[in-house]
Amino acid sequence: MARPIAKDYEFKRDHILNSAAMLFAREGFAGASMAELAHECQISKANIYHYYSGKDALLFDLLNAYLRALHQKLTSLKLDGFPPKQKLFLLVREILLAYQGMDHQHQVQLNEMQHLPSAQQDILRSYQSDMISILRNVIAEIAPAIEAKEKAKLHAVTMSVFGMLNWFYMWNRQEGTEARENYAKVVTELTLKGIASDH
């Protein structure tokens, strides 16, 4: 008979993942040990191994859960009916709000994904690719001339927006909703002015 799943299984797993995110962000994936993670979690190593076979499995589950949730938020965002420029603001704001409280997971995603096998990286990058496409399509609506004539520039603009968003946590740790909404306005304005300067 299979061992029944404990009622607090999901809670404990989430606790391990959150603790791992803090540890990997602070020490780096390569520099962190399972013993340090056990100390961070305040549980035994044996308990961690009940959930994960090792650091690689833990890293993938951490990033998969984070990126899947972010992907779900962006793909379910209702943008139909809004003017393209408003769509840009709503999308930028949604990304920043989705990052809120996830600084450690975000930092691990930016810095540690290369430690995973290629097949697992491909799964994670598929989430990223979809999210990039959503933003790129909105920018193309605002400036169709870029899409028609300068595909490389459209990609560069898209990735520049993500660059402005991805590093927000570096200088605005612990900032709340209001600061993120204000910064979304700044990013939107910079992007629109940059596009307008060439067209």
Residue 188 lies inside a defined structural domain of this protein: yes
User: 29: Cβ–Cβ under 8 A, 6 or more apart, which residues?
Assistant: 55, 59, 108, 112, 115
In a domain, 3, yes or no: no
Q: What is the pLDDT of residues 31-80, one digit of tens each?
A: 999 999 999 999 999 999 999 999 999 999 999 999 999 999 999 999 99
> Would you say residue 4 lies in a domain?
no
Dihedral angle over CA of 42, 46, 48, 51, nearest 10: -150
Closest alpha carbon to 53 in 42, 41, 64, 61: 61
Q: What is the pTM of this model?
A: 0.88
Residue 191, domain extent:
9-196
| Residues 123-140: tens digit of each pLDDT | 999 999 999 999 999 999
1 falls within a domain = no
Q: How many domains does the chain have?
A: 1
